Structure 1
Amino acid sequence: MLIGRKAQFGALTAALERAAAGHAGVVLVGGDAGVGKSHLVAELTATARTRGFAVLTGQCAALGESMPYLPLADALWTALRDPRSAEDERAALENALAGRPVLRRLLPDGDGAPDEASDLGRQQLLGATLALLGELGGQRPVLLVLEDLHWADRSTRNLLVFLSRVLQRERVCLVGTYRTDDLHRRHPLRPVVAELLRLPNVSAVELKPFRPGETAEYLMSLAGTGAKPPADLVERVHRRSEGNPFYAGELFAAVDDEELPSALADLLLARVERLSEDAQHVVRVAAVAGRRVDDELLRRVSGLPEDAAGEALREVVSHQILVPSGMAGYAFRHALLREAVYADLLPGERTRQHRAFAAQFLQAAAPIEAPLPDGNRPPRAAAELAYHSMAAHDLPTAFAASVRAGRDAERMGAPDEAHEHYDRALSLWDTVPGAEESAGMKRVDLEWAAVRSSARAGELRRAVQRLRRLLTLIDPDDKALGAEVRERLAYYLHELDRLDESRAMAQEALDLTPVEPPTPARARILATYVRTLLATPERYDEVPAMAAETLHVARATNVPSAEAAALISLGQHTEATAGPGPEVTRAYSEAVRLARTSTNMQVTLRALYTEARLPYEIGELERARALADEAVRFTLDNGLDWATYGINLRFLQFLIAYTEGDWERAARIADGFGIRVARDVEAVVSSYALFLDVARGSVCATHRLQWIEPLWDGDAWLTYVARGLAAEQRMWEGDTAGALAHIATVLAASGPTDTGLIRIAAVGLWAHADRAVLARRAGDAAAEAAARAAADELVAKARFAATHTPDGRHDAWMGAEGRAWLARAEAEWRRAHGTDEPEHWRAVRDAFDYGFVYEVARSRWRLAESLAENGDRDAAAAEWRAAVTDAERLGARPLLRVLHDLGSRARLAEPDRSRATADTARDQGPLSGLTSREREVLKLVAKGMGNKEIAATLFISPKTASVHVSNILAKLNVTSRTQAAALAHRENL
């Protein structure tokens, strides 16, 4: 029975309905401890089951940050064993998990012998979770509940953020609960909640304390007699409980006591003190375990005889201190009750109980020194052993368990928790006797493990700090280790764009590595070194020789990932300096083959992306589409679609669809990019959709840019994409000043040899050409000269980028799109100078005609305009009709608008006689005597244009324009252009 929660429950059930209809959503339920969050969610899960939902419910635990993905594992394990789940529901979950071993490892019976932890393990787990929910949602809608998020580990918080951002059309409703009174200013969940509530599919439900009438109704439901409790009792309970339902219930249960305790903790403990000694002992033991505890574990740790333990448990359950939870365990009826009992334990008593739990988990995790894999222990035994051992002040056991727990966390794709465990172990190293033997590794190896987990968690700066510290710890004479540390340091510095430091560190690593005999370490160091050279213009010419050496060493030592990386770097160098010949295509294909044979997912994704990108660059769109689709399938199969190269591949897939004119497919891909963003990486992903939004004139473009704007100057690529397309949007709106402001910012953030700036320059030249044309028509020589000078400066930038490589050579290679944009930049420059001819715009059209449907149509717009200006109306009409056909099919509204304007001014469209008849019938006023052409001339007169400007706008001679104006004045019976303009305005022409 829900009291005082009708609105909140309605919001939750509405979220269920939206999920069932294919609109995924997230609801965060907040409220103070005891306010009724769990009861509300229990009602929701019951309702969801009656509506045919698959229900997954998991809880976080107050065990610190050491238990990665605990609520997800709890939800999956419980659903597999829950008798309330339909048989086909459990079978579907089993099948879904069977194909996703990264999730199966989270379960108590998960595979204990997994593959080596991947650098992309977390992305794989996140991707696998999303895919699992999508697969389950394809059969029946899913309700996923994550309770007590105020205790969530960092990996669970990452999972919550990830799902909140990427769930779109899956039939999934995610509900999370948390205590608002626990979210102090530095609580790690607090910024997460604030961030998520900015997302469009995330809503909040806040539970407030009961009002007096609700408290009375609640107490009446507890009494079960149907009679209202005395008003003075209700008033006293409501005042003492401050409307908190849990506290009110406890006060009401204690109403027969002669004196009510003054504090909630005392009130809760009074309930426990009514129990027998054995039952009280069981409750205290359970409090040390956490909010939930396994039946067998609780019996063993209690130390009671079997019969006595059974009687004690029955008594505790009958008094509703513990309640059955899952198939074989118990949970405290409320977390407040557990906290009160735990806080009341004497220090020695608490330590002894933690030691007893540690002993049980030690058995589950034994032998603690055994190297992975051991295949027999529950996946969380080591983490719980570390927790209880630390609480019991058993540092040697805590140390060894922390090392093992770190390995387990890595295995489960939880690098944040792995780092925490390794960090704790390192902090204990000097205090533990025989640390090296206990850990089963040297200290430097443990430091390496901490570095590895930091990097996998995306904490590259923390990894760099650890590596620098590691350099001070290692033996200077150990050149092999010193080189390995420096190689990783160079790699991470490169990822952080600290390129000079990266190259210097890679050089140091290389200097420490002997040339003979070849070693795997030298192969990896060379691969990283070559990558740093690619980012160093003055050392660019060294790339081929160093890449060749890398290939030789990698092949000699059988390091396929280094060989693949070298092939990619060599191919990129050749592509940039000589163009993409067949040898580049072969290099990328071989890199993919080699990378797939390695365990290095980073190199594999880089190879897949590079292989698919090349045919796109050279205009082979069909092949590019096939390769990109295959690569995206690989990322999805491995749960890596949200890794960096996974995102890049989806963007490439989007660009190919956009270029080919398959805008419906492009829109489906863009649906996953999101609009409301809070971080740079999200803004970059969102900005990709602007290509389509701006071209279609969608209101989404404005909304998207509003969210991106606070972030768009913090990342160079984001600046290029977002502000470049914002400039294009401003041009469609006629705002040349706004467009040029964006262009200036993008150019300032681009390198002079970056071929990407050619496209930006072309948009800027569009703006300068428009200004020059208007100035020329108005006879404003100064404004025209300024626009021409600005165009000269901008076209020079485009030409330089088109002919210069990073190493200063004058033989740059551009892809098919780059050549087309350069042709457009040149044509716009000529338009600014008034020297453009149809042949220039034909060159632009032909350059884009490798399959770029939209840009061909946009080029035909200018070509038709140029043909009309040169008097070739038949050819202009043919180009115009082709452009209109494509623009209409694509839904390119801004382009269609200017095409219709051109068709009207240049009389390229077939006359619409029905519309002309309607206009005549409607207009019986003073303008009724004007022809359609005279109306067009009058509109321009009303804008203040002279005969020369009118002639240029309507593609007629100035003499013809003068004749039209004279005829208009006569027909309107006015003596001046000013009077004619006033009449046009009065008639709303």
Structure 2
Amino acid sequence: MNGLLVGRSAELSKLVRVLESAADGTAGVALVGGDAGIGKTRLAGELVAEARERGFHVMVGQCAELGDALPYLPLADALRGAEPAVREAVAAHPMLGQLLPGHDTGAPSAGLTQQRLFGSLLGLLSDVQPVLFVIEDLHWADRSTRDLLVFLSRMLQSERVCVVGTYRTDDLHRRHPLRAVLAELKRLPSVTNVELGPLESGEMSDYVTTLGEVDAQELGLIVSRAGGNPFYAEELFAAMSEGDSLPDGLASLLLSRVEVLSEAGQRVLRAAAVAGRRVEDELLREVSGLPLAEFEEAVREIVSRGLLKVQGYGYAFRHALLQEAVYTDLLPGERTRLHADFARLLTSSAELAHHHLASHDLAGALAASAQAGREAERLGAPAEAHNHYDQALGLWDRVEGAEELAGESRAALAFRSAVAAADSGDNHRAVTRLRALPPTSEVDERLAYYLFETNDPPGAIAAAERAVESAEDAPSLARALATQARTLLWGPRHHEVEPLTARALETARASGAVDAEVGALLTLASYVENRGDVARAHSLVESASARETGVLAMDLRARFHHARIHYEQGMLAQAAEVADAGVKLAVDTGLNWSTYGTDLRFLRLLIHYVAGEWDAAEAVAAGFGARVGTLSEAILSSFALFIEVGRGLPAVEARLEWLRPFWHDALATYMSRGMAAEHALWNGDPAAALDHVHAALATLDEGESGTLRLAAVGLSAMTELGTTEGADDLLARARFAATRGPTGEFVQLGPEGQAWALRVEAEWLRLQGRLDVELWRKVVAAFDFGFVYEVARTRWRLAEALLAAGEREEAQEQWSLAKEAAGRLRAAPLEAALLEFGRRARFGGGQPEGALTAREVEVLRLVAEGLTNREIAGRLFIAQKTVSVHVSNILGKLDVATRTQAAAAARTHNLLS
């Protein structure tokens, strides 16, 4: 690498800004594109040096032209070459260790291996931050590496991590798989795009002069011939320095530098080109066929001319263009023989398959492809596993003894291929593959599962019935019965669920099929819970949660439902204990971002929120990124609004803006617009609140319990607006949800549901101008199962009713209790409302007449801590001038002259609680 970077200061500045943001706690991704030889690697190298100067850990990995043959190659490359601190941290994330030689985590876990691997990498990056992770040559990346890049780009939020990927723009043909990925990533706000164009002639002149001495004529010739491409310029300069003539075209120029090598040197370089961009020393020596002394002399010659460079225990081409030029120049027979030589010596199944195919050894290719598929499964690369299996199946009829070579039957291999397709997210392809197989219970059971996932209940039910009919042993029958019950759960034949699960449980317990037993228990629990038998559902889920199935998805699902039922029954301590165990299992296994991993985390947030542990809730919510790009991210992000709206945090508006594009989805709309309604009410916009309520209600079916909270908020908004239009319909819908449930049958609500049902009735009477003290007392008592915030909000309304009834002393007592709770929670909007109510009611026991706003209370707390205006501005994310205005208002309202006096007055009047 030359000491001076020429003509790329603007591009480097963009990358450094991403690095600086990462250092400050805002993760970022940069994509560096440009033609071959334009200087992407040089620029990335400059950023690496800058990162090391700033104390970053650096990981650098490179994709290879073998593409999908070697999953996660750049990640494995980066881990192998990482700094000692990073390699030591890998020990805490064993899923990553499987990418390194000599590590094996055993059999894959039901399609979750990739999720575990991704979660483990996220954990590693969090452990060793700040980190710069560079992935070079993304145009050659395998599917799993592309998926990993997308995952990191979406999941990294507040970590001090910078990810940089480089790619060749001239390699991206219209159907190149990277094109869609780049288009998706460039829409994300966390992604910075850097395009490298040709250097200007003046910049190119400056660059050439950094290479060595050159006269004006030679300089002009190099600049005119290089066309702004630094690598081409380097090759032209090297050729001139060696006294060579300058042929037309870069490929010819590169080959002219190869042709001056000795015969042994050319032989070694051609063998290296067949190996790819890099090759181990011992392997290259074996394939070259040269005696050791002659081989080493040839390599020394190649390295001295700058064609190969020493890298680890082997060699790498100085530039991919050189490798491509040498490889393309090989004669067909020569290329085939060299590929066969590598196939004879290699141990990696993926590389073996590549070289066997290139050498036309179909039998070897089939055997290696089948094994490569199994290895890709183990690594958590389902897309590559599917491709390898399909490659083996494509060769099956062209090879004698295919089953013996593959190590299993054609049907077994095709089944593996289908499951791998589903695990990579392509359920439709999995369904197609399974339908082409001879029907067996296992095939039909998987087919039913995938059809159910792709929203084809009739097809799923039919497949599950066939699976039950054709089950060849008890474990297969148990799984088929459990799957059949699941397909019937939400349809018109739901009455068949209980007898089916009973049969499944009996069969599973007799045969030891624990996964089928737990699956049947969870399905039955959902069935009885939806029919109001919560106690039985609780018992069933507790039994399911107590069993270890060895299937992580099932174990996490059981823990989630166990914690959820505890939560819905108001058993917050027990819910927290089970949820914590589930979250720990998800984190320990790298499944923090799996479906049930995220479900457990948002449930944990809700438990913290209800229990009044708002600092802990805010800490959990911080992991639910606001910068969302997918529906699942949007739904998860919506849960952070509970704490952000409750505390009136500035993040609410930005989060809602990011969630707005997902309001076409029912759950995202219900979650985010329901909380947007409360936010609008706190901010004095009841009309907007009512709009949000109606939009959220439109996503719910009749009888769903979520109706109750929305109805309460909607009726409150109507009271503020002074309108009763639509109130009767809202009340009727809420009463139906409180008594009949989604199935239209009688339902027994849990404690929170009962409390919201009472709140609806009380809000309805408030809308009519009737403040029913006894009803508001019942609402307070109903929420007092542990819902700290809602007890405080309800005490506010109870205080209003008591004051209107002339019970001033008790009204002030309820108001004080509410204010104390709001202060402890730092629920700024509720605090502001209570202070305003207390001012109008002349409560406060000597509280100053000019009541402080919620923001002024926040500022006063920080003043009392001794913070300066600048520090307060930084803490609250507001302008320093705004802080100064708040402080002036506080001094005036408290009738004091100094900040110290203000802090003392605040303590005297109990304003800091």
TM-score in terms of structure 2 length: 0.88
The whole-number CA distance in structure 1 between the counterparts of 2:820 and 2:695 is 35
Shift in alpha-carbon separation, 1:191–1:678, aligned structure 2, 3 A: farther
Distance in 1, Cα, partners of 2:455 & 2:677: 27
Check whether the contact 1:863–1:876 (CA below 8 A) recurs between aligned residues: yes
> Do residues 761 (structure 1) and 716 (structure 2) align?
no
Tell me by how many angstroms 1:20 deviates.
4.9
Give the match for residue 640 of structure 2.
689
Partner of 1:495: 453
The structure 2 residue matched to 1:524, chosen from 446, 461, 479, is 479
> Gaps (5+ residues) in structure 2?
853-913
1:865-893 Cα deviation digits (max 9, x unpaired): 23333333333322223223322332323
C-alpha distance in structure 1 between counterparts of 2:334 and 2:686, whole Å = 76
Q: d(CA) in 2 for partners of 1:47 and 1:283? A: 34
* 1:543-598 CA distance string (max 9 Å, x none): 333222211100101001111122222233333334432x544432321232x2x2
Q: In the alignment, which of 199, 209, 220 is matched to residue 210 of structure 1?
A: 199
- AA aligned opposite 1:253: A
Number of aligned residue pairs? 848
Q: Which moved more, 1:734-743 or 1:542-551?
A: 734-743
Pairing partner for 2:565 from 588, 599, 614: 614
Aligned residue number for residue 524 of structure 2: 570
The answer (yes or no) to whether the contact 1:575–1:813 under 8 Å persists in 2 is no
Deviation at 1:383, TM superposition (A): 0.5
Alpha-carbon offset, residue 635 of structure 1: 0.6
Say whether residues 1:136 and 2:128 are aligned partners: yes
Residue segments in structure 1 that go unaligned for 5+ positions in a row:
80-84, 365-380, 475-480, 776-783, 918-989
Indicate the structure (1 or 2) with the bigger Cα radius of gyration: 1
- How far is 1:201 from its partner? 4.0
Task: Please give the secondary structure, in 2, of the residue aligned with 1:599.
Answer: coil
CA 1:21–1:675 in 2, change beyond 3 Å: closer, same or farther?
closer
Which residue of 546, 563, 566 maps to 1:593? Answer: 546
Map residues 254-653 of structure 1 onto 2, 5 A cutoff.
254-255=239-240, 260-326=246-312, 328-361=313-346, 364=347, 381-470=348-437, 474=438, 481-513=439-471, 519-536=474-491, 538-581=492-535, 583-594=536-547, 596=548, 598-653=549-604
**Shift of residue 51, structure 1, vs aligned partner:** 5.0
Give SS of 1:717's match. helix
Report the Cα offset of residue 757 of structure 1. Answer: 2.4
AA at the equivalent of 1:492: Y
Moved more, 53-62 or 175-184: 175-184
Q: 1:710 and 1:15 mapped to 2: Cα distance?
A: 26
* Letter in structure 1 aligned against 2:98: R
Distance in 1 of aligned mates of 2:809 and 2:109: 67
2:819 corresponds to which of 884, 887, 901: 884
The amino acid across from 2:369 in the alignment is S
- Using the TM superposition, name which of 390-399 and 164-173 deviates more: 164-173
Deviation of 1:165 after TM superposition, in Å, equals 2.7
- Is the counterpart of residue 750 in structure 1 residue 743 in structure 2? no
* 1:195 alignment partner in structure 2: 184
Please say if residues 876 and 908 of structure 1, whose CA atoms lie closer than 8 Å, have aligned partners that are also in contact. Answer: no
Q: Which residue of 2 aligns with 1:220?
A: 209
Partner of 1:982: none
**In 2, Cα distance between equivalents of 1:233 and 1:491:** 69
Q: Work out the CA distance in 2 between the residues paired with 1:189 and 1:864.
A: 62
Distance 1:672 1:733 in 2: 26
User: Offset at 1:689?
Assistant: 1.0
After TM superposition, give the deviation of residue 914 of structure 1 in Å.
Answer: 7.0
How far 1:49 sits from its partner (Å)? Answer: 4.2
Q: Aligned to 1:261, what secondary structure does the other structure show?
A: coil
Counterpart residue identity of residue 543, structure 2: E
1:529 to partner: Cα distance: 1.8
1: distance between equivalents of 2:458 and 2:834? 50
Aligned-pair CA distance for 1:794: 1.5
State the distance in 2 between where 1:914 and 1:693 align. Answer: 29
Q: Contact 2:835–2:851 (CA<8 Å) still a contact in 1?
A: no
Q: What is the aligned counterpart of 1:717 among 647, 667, 677?
A: 667
**Counterpart in the other structure of 2:835:** 900
1:259: how far off? 5.1
Separation of aligned partners in 2, 1:530 and 1:51: 58
In structure 1, what is the Cα distance between the partners aligned to 2:810 and 2:182? 60
1:870 is aligned to 2:823: no
- Alignment correspondent of 1:861: 796
Structure 1 position 754, deviation (Å)? 2.0
> Does the C-alpha gap of structure 1 residues 353 and 44 become closer, same or farther in structure 2, counting only changes over 3 Å?
same
Q: Could you say if the C-alpha distance between residues 831 and 591 of structure 1 is closer, same or farther in structure 2, counting changes exceeding 3 Å?
A: same
* Whole-angstrom CA distance in 2 between matches of 1:878 and 1:554: 59
Equivalent residue for 2:898?
Answer: none
The residue aligned with 1:104 is 97
**Alignment partner, residue 249 of structure 1:** 234
Q: Is the 8 A contact 1:164 1:201 kept in 2?
A: yes
For 1:908 and 1:184, locate their aligned partners in 2 and report how far apart those are by CA, in whole Å: 73
Segment of structure 1 superposing worse, 329-338 or 278-287: 278-287
Spell out, residue by residue over 1:492-520, the C-alpha distance to the aligned partner (whole angstroms, 9 max, x if none): 22223433432343233324448xxx600
Q: Deviations over 1:659-714 (max 9, x none)?
A: 12222211211111111222111111211112222222333222112222212213
1:410 Cα offset (Å): 0.3
Contact 2:18–2:192 (Cα < 8 Å) also in 1: no
Is 1:156 matched up with 2:141? no
Q: Which residue of 2 aligns with 1:813?
A: 748
Q: Which deviations, in whole Å up to 9, do the C-alpha atoms of 1:905-924 show, x marking residues without a partner? A: 4434456557499xxxxxxx
Alpha-carbon shift at residue 171 of structure 1 (Å)? 4.2
The Cα of 1:646 is off from its aligned counterpart by 0.5
Question: Is the 8 Å Cα contact of residues 195 and 678 (structure 1) preserved in structure 2?
Answer: no
Runs of 4+ residues deviating >6 angstroms: none
Secondary structure at 1:222 match in 2: coil
How big is the shift at 1:93? 4.4
| Aligned with residue 849 of structure 1, among 768, 780, 784 | 784
Deviation of 1:285 (Å): 1.6
| CA distance in 1: counterparts of 2:35 and 2:846, whole angstroms | 71
1:15 Cα deviation (Å)? Answer: 4.7
CA contact (8 A) 1:841 1:863 kept: yes
Cα distance between partner residues in 1 of 2:202 and 2:389? 53
Taking a change above 3 Å as real, the CA distance of residues 693 and 496 of structure 1, as seen in their structure-2 partners, is: farther
Instruction: Spell out, residue by residue over 1:221-255, the C-alpha distance to the aligned partner (whole angstroms, 9 max, x if none).
Output: 111x5xxx444543432232222111111122233
SS of aligned partner of 1:255 = helix
Who is 2:659 aligned against? Answer: 708
User: Aligned equivalents of 1:808 and 1:14: distance in 2?
Assistant: 58
Distance (Å, rounded) in 2 between the aligned partners of 1:171 and 1:30: 24
**CA deviation after TM superposition for structure 1 residue 18, in Å:** 4.9
The C-alpha deviation readout for 1:931-950, integer Å capped at 9, x for no partner, is: xxxxxxxxxxxxxxxxxxxx
Indicate the residue corresponding to 1:59 in structure 2. Answer: 62
Any idea what SS the aligned residue of 1:689 has? helix
Please say if 1:829 is aligned against 2:784: no
Query: Which residue in the other structure is 1:781 paired with?
Result: none
Report if the CA contact (8 A) 1:540-1:806 is conserved.
no
State the secondary structure of the residue aligned to 1:752: coil
Aligned residue in 1 for 2:855: none
SS in 2 for 1:684: helix
Looking at structure 2, the residues matched to 916 and 800 of structure 1 have their Cα atoms a distance apart, in angstroms, of: 42
Per the TM alignment, residue 317 of structure 1 is displaced from its structure 2 partner at its CA by: 0.7
Look up the equivalent residue of 1:719 and give its one-letter code: T
> Does the 8 Å contact 2:108/2:377 carry over to 1?
no
